[in-house]
Structure 1
Amino acid sequence: MTTMLDFQGVTKSFGDGEGRVDVLKSIQLSVKSGELVCITGPSGSGKSTMLSLAGALLSPSSGTIKINGKDLSKLDEKARSDVRLNQIGFIFQSAHLLPYLKVEDQLLYIAKLAKMERKQAKERTAELLDSLGMSHRAKQYPVNLSGGEKQRVAIARAWMINPDLILADEPTASLDAKRAREVVETLAKEVKAKDKAAVMITHDQRMFDLCDRVIVIEDGKITTEHA
């Protein structure tokens, strides 16, 4: 198995002097291909900061973060942007679909940003929508989709550029229990099938059995880890 995400002694602080807040404290975490890892913990514990660091949206105050062996601290902003676009897929609490684009166009837009060839992009879109049971909704606008369908489109969009790592921030928070489980089952299945890695923040303990590992973070530190 390949290590897709690697945190080594990662700290993150905001502010200076007496106003400094240490949000993350010496985090050690490795996520391998084929793994869906859940991160949970109380509000304000550092979960979202951790996900932002993993997504190359923030830089650590100290320590190293690697995506598929690539040290983010050694990259300039353009290279970091390329990593975000080509190696990381994001899934948010709300699907964040563009209301004026049909389902298939949500995916094609990502392909255009990544400069994917048009024919390849169309084939990739059809493949993903079929695998997620959304082919019949390809011509629909987001307003016509259920919450679960929107999140499945968001998952398809995250996979569009075949990223090494998927980062999901409370992807089931706005869904009922049945649809929430369907979304996480879909994510877990895709991670295994594509031999990629995913990290999901959630407070929903009913989803823990679908994850390979559950990591609890409190006060900026990993306090518990269990399979």
Structure 2
Amino acid sequence: MTAKLLMEDLHVGFGTGDHTTTILESINFSIHAGEFVAITGPSGSGKSTLLSVAGTLLTPTRGHLLLDGQSLSRLNAKESANVRLHQIGFIFQSAHLIPYLNVEDQLLYIGKIGKIPKQKAKKRADELLDMLGLDHRRRHYPVHLSGGERQRVAIARAWMNDPQLLLADEPTASLDASRGQEVVETLATQVRQQQIAAVMVTHDTRLFRFCDRVITLSDGKVDQIEERNE
């Protein structure tokens, strides 16, 4: 089975010669369709840098990054932006919803910038709102939503353009434990149903039970890969 996301001997460093600082070193792993993988490790271990490389926000110093067989290692700025818009969905610590758009319009706006035809975008938004239990909140603005609801809108928004890869950076950091687990359980379920690849950076060990694998980073290297849900 072809990997959705593949990292081969991936390095990230800054500086030149004797003044080089290595952030990531010899990263090798793959994620297949329907897999939900957690990345964990202490602060400064390279987790956020790894997510930035996977999301084409940062170019690796050397090595290979492939998404669905397409090399992403040396894209120019325009090509990277196109990949992020059409192939990658992002979920951050905070939902970052647009305050003056209601829930439905948050999704339709993503469809608009992704150049999805209006009828198709409306149908996709309806499906996502129903799937994530938000249909009754479609006309509400972010200020009137709970923290869990806002993160579910963020999940729906990340899925709006049918991404091949979903990247979540501490998606439960702003939520209490029960809300956080609810959001990640929803995320994991939809990753498997939609058959996309997903990577979540988290410090919360309670969330590992929703994941297929847990990759621990230490000093910019893969320290351990633990299989879960076998």
Shorter-chain TM-score bucket reads: over 0.9
Q: What is the letter of the counterpart of residue 56 of structure 2? A: A
The amino acid of 2:103's aligned partner reads V
Identity of aligned residues (%): 58
RMSD: 0.9
Give the alignment of 1:5-16 within 5 angstroms.
5-16=5-16
1:83 is matched with 83
Partner of 1:136: 136
Q: Which residue matches 2:211?
A: 211
> What is the TM-score normalised by the length of structure 1?
0.98
Secondary structure of the residue that 1:73 maps to in structure 2?
A: coil
The alpha carbon displacement at 1:73 in A equals 2.6
Question: Which whole-Å CA distance do the structure 2 matches of 1:130 and 1:74 have between them?
Answer: 38
Distance in 1 separating the partners of 2:108 and 2:19: 45
C-alpha displacement of 1:81: 1.3
How far apart, in 1, do the equivalents of 2:73 and 2:21 lie?
21
Aligned-residue offset at 1:66: 0.5
Q: Deviations over 1:118-160 (max 9, x none)?
A: 0110110010000000001100110011110000000000000
**Counterpart in 2 of 1:220?**
220
**1:74 Cα deviation (Å)?**
4.5
Amino acid at match of 1:5: L
Tell me which residue corresponds to 2:191.
191
Corresponding residue number in structure 2 for 1:181 = 181
The correspondence of residues 18-57 of structure 1 with structure 2, limited to 5 A, is 18-57=18-57
SS in 1 for 2:73: helix
Cα drift, residue 14 of structure 1: 1.4
CA distance, structure 2, for counterparts of residue 74 and residue 179 of structure 1? 39
The secondary structure found in structure 1 opposite 2:63 is strand
Deviations 1:93-127 (A, max 9, x none): 00111111111111111101110000110110010
Equivalent residue number for residue 169 of structure 1? 169
Aligned to 1:156: 156
Aligned positions, number: 227
Q: What is the deviation of 1:165?
A: 0.3
Q: Any idea what SS the aligned residue of 1:198 has? A: strand
TM-score, length-normalised on structure 2? Answer: 0.96
Q: Which amino acid aligns with 2:34?
A: G
Distance 1:75 1:20 in 2: 23
2:66 matched residue in structure 1? 66
Q: Which runs of no fewer than 5 residues in structure 2 stay unpaired?
A: none
CA distance in 1, matches of 2:28, 2:160: 29
Query: For 1:189, what is the secondary structure of its paired residue?
Result: helix
CA distance in 2, matches of 1:85, 1:37: 22
CA distance in 2, matches of 1:45, 1:203: 12
Question: For the residues of structure 1 that align with 2:164 and 2:146, how far apart are their CA atoms?
Answer: 28
Q: CA deviation at 1:53?
A: 0.2
Name the aligned partner's letter for residue 219 of structure 1.
D
The separation in 2 between residues aligned to 1:91 and 1:182, in whole angstroms, is: 15
Whether contact under 8 Å (2:59, 2:74) holds in the other structure is: no
- SS of 1:12's equivalent in the other structure is strand
SS at match of 1:66: strand
Aligned partner of 1:126 in structure 2 is 126
Letter matched to residue 128 of structure 1? L
Q: CA deviation at 1:3?
A: 1.0
